[in-house]
Amino acid sequence: MNNNVNISDRGSKSLIRFVISELKPRGKIFTPFNIISGLIILLSLVILVIRFAKGLGSVADASQLHPWGLWISFNVITGVAFAGGAYVLTFMVYILNMKKYHSIVRMTVLWGFLAYSFYAGALILDLGRPWNIINPIIGNSFGLSSVLFLVAWHFILYIIAQFIEFSPAIAEWLEAKRLRKILVSLTIGTVIFGITLSVLHQSGLGALFMMAKAKIHPLWYSEFLPILFLISSIFAGLSIIIVVGSICQKVFKNQLKSDYGDSYKNIVFGFAKICAVAMFVYLFLRLLVLIHSQQWALINTHIGYWFLLEILGFVLVPFIFFIYGFKHRSMLLIHIASIMTIIGIILNRLNVSMIAYLWNDPLAHYPTWMEIVVSVSVILAQIWIFRWIIYRMPILRKSPDWVPEDEEK
Amino acid sequence: MSINRRDFIKTIGIAGVTLTVGNELLAAPKKEEKEIEFSGILIDTTLCIGCRTCEHVCAETNGLPDTSDEETGSNRQPTEKQLCVINTFNVDGNEIFVKKQCMHCNQPACATGCLTKAMKKTDEGPVIWTANKCMGCRFCMINCPFDIPKFEYHSPNPKIQKCKMCFERLKEGKKPACVENCPAEAAIFGKRRDLIEIAKARIYAEPDKYYHHIYGENEVGGTGVLYLASVPFEKLGFKTNLGATPYPEYSKEFLYAVPVIFTVLPALLLGMHSASKSENNKIEKEESYE
């Protein structure tokens, strides 16, 4: 689109002019998606004004027994699991040197970076006293014994790490050749740092609930919760990348190289295999936990059937679909499996943090419609920024010609 | 108590490595030297007459609305406007009154989970909350096994509300308001160690009157507020399934693993990276020979 514009010898003034020109929207503005999502985002802005003026209870289900509502349970705890694709893929590409997956790395890291940024943002919306958010960061009061402290710090550091991993694309966009060279040299270091951070905070999200031992239903609570969260983030992240990648392939056709379709199929088959392996380990561990806890009797209760639905319906079935899809080279089956896996992860995270949390509380708690609107608009805003970047920076399309061939992406 | 305290500090010290900030670990033992005796409250439910003076003075002391005309029940919970409540239980035809408020655990889960140290166990014994540190994440509410911390959902400047054992009064040398004003002397204030002695003496002196258990002596690693009763505690709405393990223990295993992973994993990843890289180079070279 703007590829034919010559902007190689750009001064700082023209750089600003270039960025401003890039801020303008591309393509049709009034598409159905834009109108609907725009309205939802506007509505959620109104809701947020009320929330900050009158307190959290004016818009959210204000429950003293369920202190964490939809914004934490869905956007933060579930959303971060879905952002796990970035660490898995950077591990495969940069650590194991699997060149096949190189073409999708940027998109995945971008998705991860935006997911973390927006979901950390959702966390701030949920904080009762957000003006004190600086306290655990600047060190005047480090709560070092807190798992949440670890998770908060790892979020911040990982957002920075992902930004650096992604930054060569920005340098290519701005035609900043020397900067790009420096940023590319940082990649491997930040990848190693980022994977370590991810392993720790993906499991850390599970460890958040370790002290809620007496509150979470025994079918979900176990000491293995951190490990289960970590393993499930592998197939959660890859499933969402399969879905997002396939949507991108349809929506951003003009951005793609002509041979992208075939290599993309190969990538998806590879992902399906990894998902199946990770899901096998996950299922095995959950079975082990169940046997260990010796709580078979609990299965034959209402919440026990709910547990079976999560495990059998949305882990075991997509697991089988992934294997079949991989064996018979069926993109359709793999897509169905990915969507089911995504539903299964949402179920699992919501179960641990909301549904099976104080399951015996006689008062039922449901998120308000206002909470749901804000939750959805956080994701919509993420998609808007994602699209804006893909149209402008070399994420799916080829890097500019001045980028050395072997360094591309 | 000093042993419990030491364990607690140890947990915090180990957790210091959360960010591989090694010096936190070295700094911890200094604190350990101090011998600390926590204060607490012993509540003898056999003496309580259910007059609810404690509720009244508690509201007065903390500047909260007076709710003493509210009806009692068996499942009232402390709220953000009412830091202690009296519940009435009917056991075998006898009315038994139980005061409910923060238990002031020896190793509180709320303080362990607090990422800004807004919730903290003081050396004196009370667990208190500091407004200018708290960021309102409500993780203390998730962690508390007794569901005590309450959040002001309907305020733009919300606070966490819970009993602070009248920490300000203690510093002035006074007793907590509820203890001082209890007409039946059902609640007594003192060093936790002494309170356990008193409670045991009462059980020994009148073994038929009391149920032989001091609630809070061992629950969740020991609590600052201790209870005596004439009937089993589960009949009085107490949680009896919490175990004697101090709550920080549950997340300790994870926190122990953090520094290990933080040192081992990057080295491993770097090794894998260079191994796979040289492997690839070799293949490329071999290909170019052909």
pLDDT by position in tens, chain A (length 409): 444 344 444 667 788 888 888 888 777 888 899 999 999 999 999 999 999 999 999 999 878 989 999 999 999 999 999 999 999 999 999 999 998 999 899 999 999 999 999 988 889 999 999 999 888 888 667 888 899 999 999 999 999 999 999 999 999 998 888 999 999 999 999 999 999 999 999 999 999 999 999 899 999 999 999 999 999 999 999 999 999 999 998 888 887 766 677 788 999 999 999 999 999 999 999 999 999 888 888 999 999 999 999 999 999 999 999 999 999 999 999 999 999 999 999 999 999 999 999 888 777 778 999 999 999 999 999 999 999 999 999 988 888 888 886 655 4
Nearest to A88 by CA among A118, A109, A110, A114: A109
Residues of chain A with C-beta less than 8 angstroms from the C-beta of B156: 52-55
Phi/psi of residue B45, each to 5°? -70, -15
Query: Positive or negative CA dihedral for A26, A32, A36, A39?
Result: positive
Whole-number Å distance between alpha carbons of A176 and B26: 46
* CATH of range B37-250; options 3.20.20.150, 3.40.50.2000, 3.30.70.20, 1.10.1740.110: 3.30.70.20
Nearest by CB: A211 against B118, B135, B143:
B143
DSSP 8-state class, residue A329: T
Give the confidence band of B13 by pLDDT, cuts at 50, 70, 90: very low
CB spacing of A54 vs B247 below 8 angstroms = no
- Mean pLDDT across the stretch B184-202? 96
Handedness of CA B235, B237, B238, B240 (dihedral sign): positive
Which of A54, A67, A123 lies nearest to residue B151, judging by beta carbons? A67
pLDDT surpasses 70 at B206: yes
Is A209–B277 a contact, with Cβ atoms under 8 angstroms apart? no
**Superfamily assignment of A47-53+67-407 in CATH?**
Formate dehydrogenase/DMSO reductase domain (1.20.1630.10)
Q: Which positions in chain B touch A135 (Cβ < 8 Å)? A: 116, 118, 133, 135
Q: Is B26 on the interface with A (CB under 8 A)?
A: no
Sign of the C-alpha dihedral computed for residues A216, A218, A224 and A230 taken in this order = negative
Distance from CA of A372 to the nearest CA of B (A): 18
pLDDT at residue B29 tops 50? no
How far is it, in rounded angstroms, from Cα A311 to Cα A336? 17
Contacts of B170 (CB under 8 A, 6+ apart): B39, B124, B126, B176
Q: Does A94 touch chain B (CB under 8 A)?
A: yes
* Gap between the Cα atoms of A111 and A70, Å rounded: 21
Residues listed for chain B: 290
Which chain A residues have a beta carbon less than 8 Å from that of B19?
A: 144, 150, 153
Phi-psi category of A97—alpha, beta or left, where left has phi over 0 and alpha has psi -120 to 50? left
Q: What is the nearest CA distance from A259 to chain B, expressed in angstroms?
A: 23
- Residue B21 pLDDT class (50, 70, 90 cuts): very low
* Cβ partners under 8 Å of residue A369, min gap 6: none
Contact with chain B for residue A146, Cβ under 8 A: yes
**Cβ pairs A/B, distance under 8 A:** 186
Considering CB atoms only, which of A57, A68, A153 is closest to B142?
A: A68
Q: Would you state the pLDDT for residue A6?
A: 40
Provide DSSP, chain B: -HHHHHHHHHHHHHHGGGGT-HHHHHHHHHHHTS----EEEEEETTT-----HHHHHHHHHTT----TTSPP-SS---BTTBS-EEEEEEETTEEEEEEE----BSS-HHHHH-SSS-EEE-TTS-EEE-TTT-----HHHHH-TT---EE-TT-SS--EE---TTHHHHHTTPPPHHHHT-TT--EEEEEHHHHHHHHHHHHHH-TTTS-S--BTSSGGG-BSEEEE-SS-GGGGT----S-SS-THHHHHHHHHHHHHHHHHHHHHHHHHHHHHHHHHHHHHHHHHH-
A295 touches chain B (CB under 8 A): no
One DSSP character per residue, A141-200 reads S--TT-HHHHHHHHHHHHHHHHHHHHHHHHHHHTT-HHHHHHHHHHHHHHHHHHHHHHHH
What's residue B66's pLDDT?
Answer: 80
Percent of chain B residues topping a pLDDT of 90? 76
Residues 357-376 of A with CB under 8 A from B: none
What is the distance between the alpha carbons of residues A113 and A382, in angstroms, rounded to a whole number? 10
State how far the alpha carbon of A331 is from the alpha carbons of A101, A268, A340, B228, in Å. 17, 8, 14, 66
| A188 close to B (CB below 8 A) | yes
Say if A1 is an interface residue toward chain B (CB within 8 Å): no
Greatest alpha-carbon pair distance for chain A in Å reads 72
Q: Which residue of B has its CA nearest to A71?
A: B137
Strand order through the sheet with B225-228:
B187-191, B39-44, B225-228
Query: Hey, are the CB atoms on A97 and B19 less than 8 Å from each other?
Result: no
Q: Do the Cβ atoms of A136 and B152 come within 8 Å?
A: no
Residue B53 has pLDDT above 80, yes or no: yes
Query: pLDDT band for position B7 (50/70/90)?
Result: low
CB contact under 8 A, A67 and B273: no
Q: Does B268 touch chain A (CB under 8 A)?
A: no
Other beta carbons within 10 Å of A409: 18
Set of chain A residues whose Cβ sits within 8 Å of the Cβ of B248 = 145, 211
pLDDT at A343: 97
* Rounded CA separation B54/A71 (Å): 38
Predicted pLDDT at B281: 67
What number is the average pLDDT over the span B122-133?
94
Give the bridge partners for B89, in sequence order: B96
The ipTM (two decimal places) reads 0.89
Q: What is the pLDDT of residues B168-181, one digit of tens each?
A: 999 999 999 999 99
**A193 vs B contacts (CB less than 8 Å):** 266
Give bridge partners of residue B228 from the DSSP assignment. Answer: B44
- From chain A, the residues in CB contact with B277 under 8 A are 97
Measured between CA atoms, how close is B186 to chain A, in angstroms?
29
Nearest by CB to A135, from B24, B116, B262: name it: B116
Considering only residues 209 to 268 of chain A, which have any Cβ-Cβ distance to chain B shorter than 8 Å?
A: 209-215, 223, 226
CA–CA gap between residue A286 and residue A222 (Å, rounded):
10
Name the closest residue on chain B to residue A194, using Cα atoms. Answer: B266
